[in-house]
Structure 1
Amino acid sequence: MHTNFLSLTTELLVGFFALLVLTKLLGKNQITQLTPFDFISALVLGELVGNAIYDKEIGLHYVLYAIVFWGTLIYFIEMITQKFRGSRAWLEGTPSLVISKGKIQYEELKKNKLDLNQLQHLLREKDVFSIREVQYGILETNGSVSVLKKQPFDTPINKDLNIPAKSVTLPILLILDGELIPESLGLLNQNEEWLTKELLNRGIPGVNAVLYAEWLDGKGFEIQTYERKKGKN
């Protein structure tokens, strides 16, 4: 009995870390740009690993082989699409124009097996609740819809409103879950003593009392403690 548990634990650990390494090697596009092919690949890989782990007749080496072989196939496909542009349409698919100049392209919907209810759902995810707002709609290869709204419904930008240009900077995260992020202090050319003093000035006893704290140039601190009190600049 103990031997079986030890064997299963070992296979689960190996399978877990092998999948983790494979995910890192394949890159972020497996999640952020999930195509139908990627989705099916992930399902098949999970099924292969699951069967290999729980089938008593299949050893640890089969788990590794399944992961490495299937991962190699996916990696090989990714390399082909990167090096040969002509292969992308066949292996990854191409975007489809499902709304053109405000008109629904019914034939494109049929070609992509997409009905009007599904199209409406995808549009609502883009905060579009009426077809009349859309000038162009593109069905992407990952199943989402990109929308270009008609001019009366489009959101004005700063240039349209003649708002003067300002520099844009990223906030610097200083404390997360009660733990200091030392490298962030280096970006501000400050030390922990400075941060502790700033917290004390706001009635906060120390880093451990802070749930979240960030610094934004020109705006100062945003501090939230575990009591959900906000610090003020």
Structure 2
Amino acid sequence: MEFISIAVELVVGYFALLILTKILGKTQITQISAFDFISALILGELVGNSLYDKDISVWPILAAIFIWGSLIFTTEYFTQKSRRFRHIMEGTPAIVINKGKIDFQQLKKNHLDLNQLQHLLRAKDIFSVRECEYALLESNGTLSVLKKPMYENVQRADLNIQPVHISLPLSLVVDGEIVYDNLKIVHQKEDWLMSELNKQGFQSAKDVLYAEWKEGESLLIQGY
């Protein structure tokens, strides 16, 4: 019975957290701030600690998740409405490199050492500080940079090259399964797809590991 109880609590906690994440939005995952990090830890602890506590049933878990989720939702609401409250809860970007010079006071204030700064710069393809004009440490810990003009990548506009049409590649077959939603987007039917697969020697979609469509080009098809 103990294993059954743990299994039930795990399943309920899993779906409750999944639903809560969907309600709160993608920022809980992608653009995590200090507040979001604490929220994620506590939500995990609410479920984790309850698994091995025999005195706690499923309903207190759901109640705790609901209450904490309501607090997060309320906080997110006020951060959207109030700039001052947003500053307190989420912080603001810090300029750690200003006009090509490292701002040591900002590094110290944000507990960032030079080795960490160099690591963040390299992640932005900057291997020398002299290439960077501005660098902002975002509230989620990432670094946004603006290179000096002489080190910037050349743009098409700089060379007066006419822009080309851009289309979004779409997966039509993944792991032997046809992605019908994408097939509708490209305004094609299954018969057309099978015909294209047959042209490249595939008798069935189940023989295809991956097939990708791109406007103006033939299908990219790879078997297992």
What is the TM-score with the length of structure 2 in the denominator?
Answer: 0.96
Moved more, 128-137 or 159-168: 159-168
Partners of 1:183 and 1:10 in 2: CA distance:
34
C-alpha contact 1:53 1:63 (8 A) present in aligned 2: no
Residue equivalent to 1:129: 127
- The ranges of structure 1 where at least 4 consecutive aligned residues each deviate by more than 6 angstroms after the TM superposition are none
Partners of 2:75 and 2:31 in 1: CA distance:
15
* From 47, 50, 53, the counterpart of 1:49: 47
Q: What amino acid is aligned across from residue 81 of structure 1 in structure 2?
A: T
Residue equivalent to 1:220: 218
- Measured against aligned partners, the alpha-carbon deviations of 1:72-125 in whole angstroms (never above 9, x if no partner) come to 111111000112222111111000000011100000111111111111111111
C-alpha contact 1:185 1:191 (8 A) present in aligned 2: yes
Within a 5 Å distance, the mapping from 1:33-112 to structure 2 comes to 33-112=31-110
Question: Which runs of 5 or more structure 2 residues have no equivalent in the other structure?
Answer: none
Q: State the Cα distance separating 1:189 from its structure 2 match.
A: 2.6
Q: State the Cα distance separating 1:163 from its structure 2 match.
A: 1.4
Question: Which runs of 5 or more structure 1 residues have no equivalent in the other structure?
Answer: 227-233
Q: State the Cα distance separating 1:220 from its structure 2 match.
A: 2.8
Residue equivalent to 1:163: 161
Q: State the Cα distance separating 1:59 from its structure 2 match.
A: 2.0
| Count of matched residue positions in the alignment of Structure 1 and Structure 2 | 224
Residue equivalent to 1:10: 8
Q: What amino acid is aligned across from residue 31 of structure 2 in structure 1?
A: Q
What is the TM-score with the length of structure 1 in the denominator?
Answer: 0.92
- Measured against aligned partners, the alpha-carbon deviations of 1:15-44 in whole angstroms (never above 9, x if no partner) come to 111111111011001111100111111112
C-alpha contact 1:92 1:141 (8 A) present in aligned 2: yes
Q: State the Cα distance separating 1:215 from its structure 2 match.
A: 1.1
Q: In the superposition, relative to structure 1, how do residues 69 and 149 fare at CA in structure 2: closer, same or farther (>3 Å)?
A: same
C-alpha contact 2:133 2:147 (8 A) present in aligned 1: yes
C-alpha contact 2:196 2:219 (8 A) present in aligned 1: no
Secondary structure, counterpart of 1:98 in structure 2: strand
Within a 5 Å distance, the mapping from 1:122-201 to structure 2 comes to 122-201=120-199
Q: State the Cα distance separating 1:138 from its structure 2 match.
A: 0.3
Q: What amino acid is aligned across from residue 147 of structure 2 in structure 1?
A: K
What do you get for the CA RMSD once the two structures are aligned? 1.2
Q: State the Cα distance separating 1:172 from its structure 2 match.
A: 2.3
Q: Identity of counterpart residues, as a percentage?
A: 54
